[in-house]
Chain A
Amino acid sequence: MNISININGETVTRDVEPRTLLVHFIRDTPGLTGTHWGCDTSNCGACVVQMDGQPLKSCTALAAMCEGHEIRTVEALEVDGKLDPIQQGFHEKHALQCGFCTPGMLMTTRALLDENPDPTEAEIRMAISGSICRCTGYQNIVAAVRWAAENAEAEVQS
């Protein structure tokens, strides 16, 4: 079937099988391999993208279901060479090591801050509890989200 999905502001049209998972659709589109696949039971969150601003595990959505929706991936966080504060915060606070969970974490926490610009530590931990990180022990991720919350004006400037 032929489907069109708006990904990062551009319409991507491809002929796919109905069973094609969104994660594969996104990754098979040239250049969008930032979205990762870490499990097969919808637990790890490495594949989180935003659909209409809400975090979505893209391994648990069929591409065909996303026609007409707006998908945003990690590649769209940086605008005109300016990092999203959440990207900057992850760098400042050493909130990534191997980097494999990072895109999903970034998209999850971007959605959190859009809804709740000043989250408590408990709110941050709850928000990212659908994402597994094997490297960081989470502590610096929490710190990075706080950094981004406290430096939100950086985004406004862009």
Chain B
Amino acid sequence: MKTLDTTFECETGNYHTFCPISCVARLYQKIEDSFFLVVGTKTCGYFLQNALGVMIFAEPRYAMAELEEGDISAQLNDQEELKRICIKIKRDRNPSVIIWIGTCTTEIIKMDLEGIAPKPEKELGVPIVVARANGLDYAFTQGEDTVSAAMAHRCPKLNNTINQNTKSTIGNTDESETRTGSSDFEERKLENQNLVLLGSLPSNVASQLNLELKRQSINVSGWLPPQKYTQLPSLGEGVYACGVNPFLSRTATTLMRRRKCHLIGAPFPIGPDGTRAWIEKICYAFGLNPQGLKEREEQIWKGLTEYTTLVNGKSVFFMGDNLLEISLARFLIRCGMIVYEIGIPYMDKRYQAAELSLSKSTCKSMNTPMPRIVEKPDNYNQVQRMHELKPDLAITGMAHANPLEARGIDTKWSVEFTFAQIHGFTNARDVLELVTRPLRRNRGLSLPGWNNLLKQTIYD
């Protein structure tokens, strides 16, 4: 792997982020026939019900297996308890898969979830996938990474002889259409393609990306995680995998090491620049020449002028909590913004290598220095730095957003980037819509002297 001469800093890790169990919110909606069971305490439950707000009331397909004193002191049998709960879940909801989410507590009391799972799985006849998404080891979006990595083990093995059959069942309904439209040479190429994309995206964003690749005569043979657990993609030698999100390094590693897939290292399809680079890398991996991407990118940029003029020259500070930071910063730099600092919970320099080098070349072409990348940031120190730098915009969690606003620093709530549709050419606008919202709000407001609304200045 290439190493970059960018300097990485590492602080104390005293920062605010969501607990990784929050991944159930995205994933239970993505995997339609799943049920997520979080094995943890009231603390976990309280976080979920407050963080996910309204979704709680819509009969969610997730619940807590709330540990009580008897479970902690091993007076109760974990296996029996979990089995009892899973029987109830099967009876009430009948899911195709139950995903157990291990938490800090199960780690500390060393509850062997992986060891326990096979027995109830057999008795219930429902697959039980175990993912340890806990706050001891991971931050926020990394929860999704652990679940996807756990699922990768359940994907069927790719059998090259029945390759064509599995591909057609995966359901590219208009495959025939592509075939009639392409030459013999391309068709032969298509047959050898086996591309699995990693990351849970809303289904319409997933199909937008599928379509972008189809324009380059590349068929996506499956997604991990899929729309339904029963549609897990086949994995094995000869399968190419590519991530759409920057926080999927465990999944990528699992695919490479355990399932012998080939990983395409690419920047992530966030922003038109990222999307183009992402498609290009995939094309090169399949020995194709990308078609019309330059024009498409330019056309998207043209459509964004209204926003880019607004952000041009403005400065931004990423406090860091969801691992999307490098990609977003790279896109914003390309939009003409100045990035003071990129805080990030965890930086996998190998998985993100292509993204980092794109960031670097973007900085060069935009003639700005590469921003400092601060791993495991310290929020207190960051606020001190922000106090000096006075950025036009801070991208931060909700714990800091209101206090910063009261101090005259505009903020954008970072979690929105994980729930909004930000991938692909089509959604570049949505990213800027989010980023410019505080700026546009200010333009609309006329609040003379209302910029600083602190009750008292106890903080400097």
Q: Do A and B bind each other?
A: no
Residues of A within 8 A of B (CB): none
